[in-house]
Amino acid sequence: MRSPGLVTLLALLVVASTSGCYYGHLAAGQTRLLWGRQPIVQLIEDPATPEPLRQRLDLVRQVRAYARTLGLDVGEQYTSYVPWPGDRLVTTVVATRPGEVEAAGFRFPLIGRVPYKGFFDQAAAEREAEDLRAQGLDVCVVPVAAYSTLGWLADPVTEPMLRSDDLDLVETLLHELVHATAYIPDDAEFNEGVANFIGREAAARYLAEHGVAHDERAAEALARELRERTRDSRQLAEALQQVRAEVEALYSGEPAGPERDAQRRHIEQRGRTTLAQLSLAGYEAPELAERIPLGDACLALRGTYTDDLPRHEAVLADLDGDLTAFIRRLVRAAEREEPRAVFFAPDGAGSTVSNRPTPSLD
């Protein structure tokens, strides 16, 4: 699953005068990140830089150049590197209210509602999760290797990003650059869904054309591997969307109580059986089916990235597969009053579709 954009961190730019430990925590973490930046160009040219790191940073530089040709706003994004410790840059928390599979969300100045809340300190994220559970909410806690400040700051590449393989690194960079190019307040589902779609589609095209210079496999083989991952992701998304739809139907049709809880457990078990039977290239389906979290909050988070996938595919098909035109359409839509309606309209000029209002945890 692609990492969340974590646009909540932008709140620190507009609440400098706001007191509170959460904003202070964000400001301290972001400051630490920015002060730790090292220019990628210098690291590549420095003979003391280990060759594996040099190769990965050179890949970042090449992907930035490719992203620019697609019309993504690369700015100063990913021109620096931070050797951040651990397996994550931040930890995010997602919560749902009882009887719901939509993220309750958190509201912040300027950026509006987002479904997740990010913490640089994992222990702080776990404390937040416990507080939300004590309020009766279901909670999903997720490690995140990358996030975007939407182009407001020059985001660096971090060590957790580079720990992923080349395919994931290329896709992550392109995903996050979409966030820096276009952002729609109060619609994280659209923002994450379209970034997820463009990131994967652009990564496949980049690898098919260029491959990875230090990888012995041919560009075609790398692109084929990414297509297999895409098929895996699509199968998983469809299976999990089915589970989520069944849970949502249950909640809307049955009153809370032991009977509904029993039916909820039955839906989850049926979903795991379906997952175990999938034909996946990159996973052992039975093992994945056993360990994947299927709580309401985790289902809500996955929906954030995949619910609009068929509609994005339809838009790209209408544009004859022109990904640059797709990105131009996204940028134009983000400037309109009803961006989602504009983007998904047959001609990109607008329709009766509107954003779905959702509550948030203030």
Instruction: State the sign of the Cα–Cα–Cα–Cα dihedral 14, 17, 21, 25.
Output: positive
Residue 337, both tokens = 């009053």
CA 56 – CA 157 distance, rounded (Å): 10
Q: Model confidence at 1, in pLDDT bands (50, 70, 90)?
A: very low
Report whether pLDDT(12) > 50: no
Decide if 106 is inside a domain: yes
Report whether pLDDT(249) > 90: yes
Q: Which residues pair with 90 in a beta bridge?
A: 144
Total residue count of the chain as it appears in this document: 362
Identify whether the C-beta of residue 95 lies closer than 8 Å to the C-beta of residue 361.
Answer: yes
Decide if 267 is inside a domain: yes
Q: What per-residue confidence (pLDDT) applies to 211?
A: 76
Average pLDDT, the chain: 87
Q: Model confidence at 20, in pLDDT bands (50, 70, 90)?
A: low
Q: Supply the pTM of this predicted model.
A: 0.86
Decide if 1 is inside a domain: no
Give the residue numbers spanning the domain of 275.
Answer: 7-344
Write the DSSP symbol of residue 155: P
- Per-residue exposure over 214-248, b if at least 16 CB sit within 10 Å of its own CB, e if not: ebeeeeeebbbbbeebbebbebbbebbbebbebbb
Decide if 78 is inside a domain: yes
Report whether pLDDT(351) > 50: no
Q: Would strands 90-96 and 116-119 be described as parallel, antiparallel, or unpaired?
A: antiparallel
Q: How many percent of the chain have pLDDT more than 90?
A: 65
Decide if 352 is inside a domain: no
Q: Helices (DSSP H) in 73-187: which residue ranges?
A: 122-134, 159-162, 166-181
What's the domain count of the chain? 1
Give the Cα-Cα-Cα angle 192, 316, 352 (nearest 5 degrees). 75
Q: What per-residue confidence (pLDDT) applies to 179?
A: 94
Beta-carbon contacts of 358 under 8 Å, excluding residues fewer than 6 positions away, are: 102, 103, 105, 113
Identify whether the C-beta of residue 115 lies closer than 8 Å to the C-beta of residue 188.
Answer: yes
Beta-carbon contacts of 10 under 8 Å, excluding residues fewer than 6 positions away, are: 108, 110, 111, 149, 150, 152
Decide if 360 is inside a domain: no
CA 302 – CA 73 distance, rounded (Å): 26
Q: Model confidence at 110, in pLDDT bands (50, 70, 90)?
A: low
Decide if 216 is inside a domain: yes
Decide if 134 is inside a domain: yes
Q: Model confidence at 349, in pLDDT bands (50, 70, 90)?
A: low
Q: Which residue has the tokens 């997820």?
A: 196
Q: Name the percent of the chain in helix, strand, coil, to the closest 5.
A: 55, 10, 35
Beta-carbon contacts of 295 under 8 Å, excluding residues fewer than 6 positions away, are: 138, 139, 140
